[in-house]
Chains A and B, each alone.
Chain A
Amino acid sequence: MMDHEQALRLVYETIDIVNQQLPASKRLHKSPNTVIIGPGGALDSLGVVTFVITLEDKVGEAVGASVQLLERDMLGDSSPLQTVGALTEFVAAQHP
């Protein structure tokens, strides 16, 4: 079980990790409007995959079960991973 606040915290922790690989000017802001996938996003494909798998690990650890976020339709234009806010809602909804 996971509430919105906990999901947001895990997403922000993931941002902290992924930001280490980004130049200062391209680092992701810890804000619900920050774009993760899509136009205006700072992550390339390697960054997106690293982000999602890192978040999977964090969520899995939090809920005590294996979690799968990296699926083909998750990386497309209509992905729930497009922004930090949408991703947080998605993660929280997956583990009500």
Chain B
Amino acid sequence: MSHAERLYFIADFNIESLARYVANSALVGAETSVAPLGPVMSSLAAGPPSPGWSAVVWTRPDTVVENFRRALAFEPFNQDEALDEVRTYATAILQFASRARYVLLPTWVVAPFERGWGMLDWRPGIGITQLLARMNLALTDALRDHPSVFQLDAARWMAAAGPRGWSQKLWYATKSPFAPAVIEQAAADIAAAVDGIAGRGRRVVIVDLDDVLWGGLVGEVGWTGLNLGGHDHVGEAFADFQRGLKGLAARGVQLAIVSRNDEAAAFEAIDRHPEMQLRRDDFAAWRINWQDKAQNVADLLAELNLGPESAVFIDDSAIERGRVGEAIPGILVPDWPDDPTRFREALSSLRCFDSPTLTAEDRRRTTMFAAERARRSGLAAAANLEDWLQTLDVRMSVEPLSIGNLDRATQLFNKTNQMTIATRRLTRTELEAWAATPGHSMLTFRVADRFGDSGLTGIAGLRFEGGQAHLVDFLWSCRVAGRNVEDAMLHVAVARCRAQRASTLRVEVIPTARNKPCADFFERSGLGRVADNVFAWDASQPYRCPAWVTVTDHAGVVTESDVQS
């Protein structure tokens, strides 16, 4: 995958190896630049090379904090002064961050051979380890309210690399103490963060059943014969893997099943086995049958309105993994260990789920899966689509972009690939700044129905210029697809144009490989087609809201005249 990110590396050691690894392996195509080796505070004060750059700022604690250098040399030090020095550094980081897209900040570490005071090293006022921990936390506290600064855990990179991760010989020879194993870990976490910020995090994990969620073939041994939980170490490993998946679901990642199996037998196990950590309601969708797995995966992704770039496929069979990986470009198919006791580790090692925010919608996602299944089941039973829509009691609430919904709006902005006209990628700070620009209006839409609350699932961004309105952003979540909420959103956008006395609403759909569903919507929307992918609406006329959607306006947009027409 090609990346257009521009990353500026600032460090008080030779960080060239990391910059090279990022540009040539972890984020191929990223443009990188390294600040001159010297005082970090000067580089921070100078800012990034130009607007639009992000940065990795990695420092050594003993160069940034003089009191820590003293502690490391077993000289007397003042802990309060050390923490003041940390806060001064944080201020410099924040000033730099105000001029960068975002800043990634590895935590401070020292060489693993530094034992400090040994048994006294966690003693307050004495120990080096305790001082370093306090400094890292003080930095966290000082940066906590800045949404574009992210601390990355360098201690984990060191632990993963093992005792050879830190090389004094490298330090003496190159002025970088970090061996390639640490560089590799750091680059992978940086890439995961960059992908997460850019909305490229994976959103669904598709798992096989037999010898993946449990040991044994359920079709042969029945649910009572499966190896799962209990006192067997392999059974315990399968249960622990399920707990890992459940944890991912709590982070907002959907779970799904594709398995060659008898569906009834599989669900008997899922519903009845006492050691199952995952139950039917934990899964957003499934294909349990004897059909080709690649076709099943494709069908399942279509049902979830997700592209292959959003999916991870986990299967114990190398043949199935190869088949799915080859048939569905873009899907992530990790090599999978044969040994079930390594499943949990393999899952937790995947660096494809990072997200710069955690919203209430993420936490509620499992409940939303169940609601969506209930909706689909109702649709299957309904006589026709409109009857079904009428029964849903769809309610849309319109709110301006605000501090209360900014995190979720940023997340939706950066994750949406299909139902979006512009596929713009903006950080939280950039989105907030865009909305605050005179002549701009950013509306957010929350959707609920009788099955549940889908949360903030739509955004419309308008720019008013010369008596015309331009729909700059218009995106909605696949979570509310099929309920015509996009029509209701357009109704509100036109109402905003009318309130602003704009004569026309102009919409340009910028085509991508993924946003055809959005282009199709505008083709059939009733807006006039004025050029390829460009549409217009005479704003003297309201745009009709679907009869089954009730709009509640907290943004002061929709008036009686918009509703009645």
Contacts and interface: CB of A to CB of B under 8 A. Distances in A.
Interface size class on chain B is: 10 to 19
Interface stretch (B114-122, B168-176, B351-359): B168-176
A94 B271 CA distance: 63
B179 interface: yes
B25 A54 contact: no
B180 interface: yes
Contact of A21 (B14, B21, B164): B21
A46 B174 contact: yes
B170 A20 contact: no
Given A20-B180, A46-B14, A70 B20 contact: no
B24 A23 contact: yes
Contacts of A24: 24
B140 interface: no
A53 B20 contact: no
B17 interface: yes
B16 interface: yes
Contacts of A23: 23-24
B17 A21 contact: yes
Could you say which of A50, A53, A57 has the most chain B C-beta atoms within 10 Å of its C-beta? A50
A24 B170 CA distance: 25
Given A53-B167, A57-B164, A70-B169, A22 B179 contact: no
A30 B355 CA distance: 38
B431 to A, nearest CB: 34
B35 to A, nearest CB: 16
B174 A50 contact: yes
Interface in B153-167: 164, 167
A49 B17 CA distance: 11
A23 B167 CA distance: 25
Given A20-B24, A21-B24, A21-B25, A53 B17 contact: no
Given A50-B174, A70-B169, A17 B180 contact: yes
A86 interface: no
A92 interface: no
Nearest to A27: B24
B184 interface: yes
Nearest to A21: B20
B173 A70 contact: yes
A21 B32 CA distance: 13
Contact of B173 (A17, A21, A22, A53): A53
B170 A50 contact: yes
A20 B21 contact: yes
A20 B174 contact: no
Contacts of B174: 46, 49-50
Nearest to B16: A46
A2 interface: no
Contact of A49 (B25, B170, B184): B170
B170 A22 contact: no
Nearest to A17: B180
B179 A54 contact: yes
A54 B165 CA distance: 11
B20 A22 contact: yes
Contact of A50 (B24, B164, B180): B180
B207 to A, nearest CB: 30
A46 B170 CA distance: 10
A20 B167 contact: no
A18 B24 CA distance: 11
Interface string B173-206: 1100001100110000000000000000000000
A41 B437 CA distance: 53
A21 B23 CA distance: 8
A49 B173 contact: yes
A63 to B, nearest CB: 15
B544 to A, nearest CB: 54
Contacts of B179: 53-54, 57
Interface in A1-25: 17-18, 20-24
Contact of A54 (B14, B16, B24, B180): B180
Contacts of B173: 49, 53, 70
Nearest to B20: A21
Nearest to B18: A21
A54 B183 CA distance: 12
A53 B172 CA distance: 11
Contacts of B20: 21-22
A94 B24 CA distance: 34
Closest 6 CB pairs of A and B: A21-B20, A20-B25, A49-B173, A17-B180, A21-B21, A23-B24
Given A53-B173, A57-B167, 4 more contacts: A23-B23, A49-B170, A50-B180, A53-B169
26 contacts: A17-B180, A20-B21, A20-B25, A20-B180, A20-B184, A21-B20, A21-B21, A21-B25, A23-B23, A23-B24, A24-B24, A46-B14, A46-B16, A46-B17, A50-B17, A50-B180, A53-B169, A53-B170, A53-B173, A53-B179, A54-B180, A57-B164, A57-B167, A57-B179, A70-B169, A70-B173
